[in-house]
Amino acid sequence: MPARVLAVALSVLCVAATQPASADNRFGGRDVIVAVLDTGLNPLHQEFDYRGPSSDDDQIVAWWDFTEAKGAKRNPAPGRLWDDRAPDPFDDNGHGTATASLAAGRNAAPFAVKEPSFAPGTQLAIGKVGNKGGSISGDAAAAVRWAVDTVKADVINMSFGHSYPFPSVWDDTDEALAYARRAGVTVVVANGNGFGNAGGPGAPGWASPNSTSDVISVGASDVFGVITHTDPEVVAKFFGVKAAGHNCNACYAGATGTSFSAPLVAGMAAKLIDTALAAGRPSTPQAVETLLKWSARDTLYPPSMEGYGVLDAASFAPAVQHAAAGTLPSSPNPVNALYVEQVANGLREHWSTTLDGGARHRIHPAGIAADTPEGVIGTSLPAGLAEAERHEFALAPGSTVTIDVGYGPGDPTLKDVQDIDFYVYSGNAESFTAEDLVVKSANEAGEAEKMSFTTTEGGTYTLVVVGWMIVADQPYTLSSSVAMQPSLDAMYVVVSDQGLVG
């Protein structure tokens, strides 16, 4: 399965150290701020109003590079709005420029060239957490807290996902998102490309830790959404979304992915907040989320594919009127509402609350032998949730290890669905990040897994055997050129795309 990469289809359509004063915000005024946490921004693009790092009255009110692009990674000190080491925002990938233009671009080009933002010209805070190659190398949790505490953002857009094979911590992102919600910030995330992941069944959109119950999860409204995401709360335009390019100041490109659905909804949220504030009405994240959900247009797709429904210009226009009046549309389709609130959000709650937290929430699935390298990986329910067995072993520096995981497919007709992969990590922690990954084997479903690697450092290593989409018991045997000590705990795990979800 691909990891830490952009899942974006771009096609060029046309080519063409001081700190600013603090802006008004949700605590002190009516200027709404959208924080875009992504790969950065080309601030000189015509979609944005940027007058340099010393300006205090342009569109870009805060900027920080959380990555290693300009040297060692560092997080801002409390109260720091502007990065003095990289005084001008930059984007060495392009994903961030595109998402920012969709959230709050000035709509400098006509509709035929650029998808209109629903909150054109809204103030932007840019946190660069993704690097040139699409890796999420910055501290996403720190970026969220910076957007909440220092920037005082009203809306945060996160068009990325991440993965790890144990449900515990990854920069404490879940906790930071819950903190943002409590602080009154509306967070919008891309639901993810789910079963569209290449090389394996992948993971459903709700299995991304940033799709917790504290955010608005946005999926794809187009027909392609049938195979690219699961269980969103709302959906927005997904295919061929025209956005600002980062390579020149008048470039635009067509982009495909839920990465570009999310910022459209983030712009909608910003517009609703601005409208409510102008009318002297309160605008809590729950109120914004409810208004967006109830305003979504129901279509013929089942709620597992569209949530409450589609958010587009036609469905959004009445929402602005409701924001000004402090009212809500008529009750939505009860089937859609019931599904999202009790099923889809139940899955998110299961991920973000039940599985998060490490040892307190370990689950030992029935049928997995935890004391021998032979066992059975049982059925994985709900669909997409993976089960795993972990084994630990000690290696000296320069050791060459061959690991062979063999298994017997159950029903031959199901082999294209069932899959077993393995991941080797350095250390024996309860959770691992991408930096801990040594090697992985992720062959196609129905194929055995075998991999060799040579260590550079001695110490303990952990092998994780993962069963994907297992709908019939899968016996497996594990052989290695080194002795392995099976762990006493087996867990449910989820491995989803790492990096920007596109």
Mind telling me the catalytic residues? 38, 95, 259
429: CB partners within 8 A, 6+ apart: 166, 436, 462
- By CB atoms closer than 10 A (0-12, 13-18, 19+), residue 131 is buried
Residue 25 near residue 152, CB atoms below 8 Å = yes
* Helices and strands, counts by H and E, the chain: 10, 20
Residue in 351, 356, 342 with CA at minimum distance from that of residue 206? 351
Cα first-last separation, the chain = 15
- Angle at which helices 173-182 and 140-149 pack, to 10 degrees? 10
Residue in 111, 102, 119 with CA at minimum distance from that of residue 261? 102
**Edge-to-edge strand order for the sheet containing 11-14?**
11-14, 252-255, 241-244
Using CA atoms, how far residue 229 sits from 232, 261, 304, 421, in Å, is 7, 12, 9, 22
Residue 455 near residue 396, CB atoms below 8 Å = yes
Burial 388-402 (b: 16+ CB within 10 A, else e): bbbbebebeeebebe
- By CB atoms closer than 10 A (0-12, 13-18, 19+), residue 359 is exposed
